Structure 1
Amino acid sequence: MLATFRRTAVTASLGATLLLIIATSTASASGSTPPANPYLGPIGTATMHADAEASDSTPHRGPGTEGVNVDFRWKGAACSTILQGADGFPQALCTKIIGRAPEVLLLDPNNGTTLARLDLTKGSLLGGVYAYLDNDDQMVTVDGTGNLLRIGH
């Protein structure tokens, strides 16, 4: 299966990029998750910290107390943000070890192999670390030139 990415860039005036996330109420002390944000992808997998409020709480089960099977896949990069859309395909925003430029990877949900790769323009730290999935399962991030990108597959 060969996949491709499509990229849409939006540059705000005066060189500033505005990224608006509409947040809902906070999680209660009882541990429940915040209400779903209608502009994000699936709750618990659309942002690095589980939801628009960065609550780090998710409706998904943890690994439990039993052994966990892990299979390492070398990507040549540090993948700080790995998100999963409604289609089940993991999308990773990574910073390459050599050159430290950001890239987006579409991963096979069954074995973690890379199905598609998109290089992004290198810039500041935030241009290769933070992203979220919107309600169309597009990765939203900023590249090194300040362009707001929506990356779909």
Structure 2
Amino acid sequence: MDKTAYTVKVGEATPAAGGRPAAGPVYRSIYAKDGLMRLPQEIHSPWDFFSGAVKKYPKNRMLGRRQVSDGKAGDYVWQTYEQVYQKVIQIGAAIRGFGVKPGAHCAIYGSNCPEWVMAMQACNSQGICYVPLYDTLGRFAMLAHTH
């Protein structure tokens, strides 16, 4: 098993005090241990970051899903950046087709999966603010966001 550490502790845990709950220690990526990295000047949004990666690495693997056969997880089947980009553009057009305009909010409910990532990037492609509603939040979270 690879024991390489990808995070480093940059802050200690704090106990509950003055009506504030306790908080665990703070960790960062080893690449940002001394502070957050500066973004390249050409990146102004999450869409710039993603579409730039598509241009730079179109044939590289981006999103994968393990195939399950007879209840056993098998190998991953991958989609490339280019394949994901094409789907993202179509999903973004569909979201706009439902009347969601740039600057509006769009809730995305679901589990962690390639489709969730594509829906998020579809919103980014259209200048729409996505609101993640994770399946682990349960039924109460969905009811709270419908009113």
TM-score for the superposition, normalised by structure 2: 0.24
Bigger relative CO (Cα 8 Å, ≥ 6 apart): 1
Work out which of the two has the higher radius of gyration on C-alpha atoms and give 1 or 2: 2
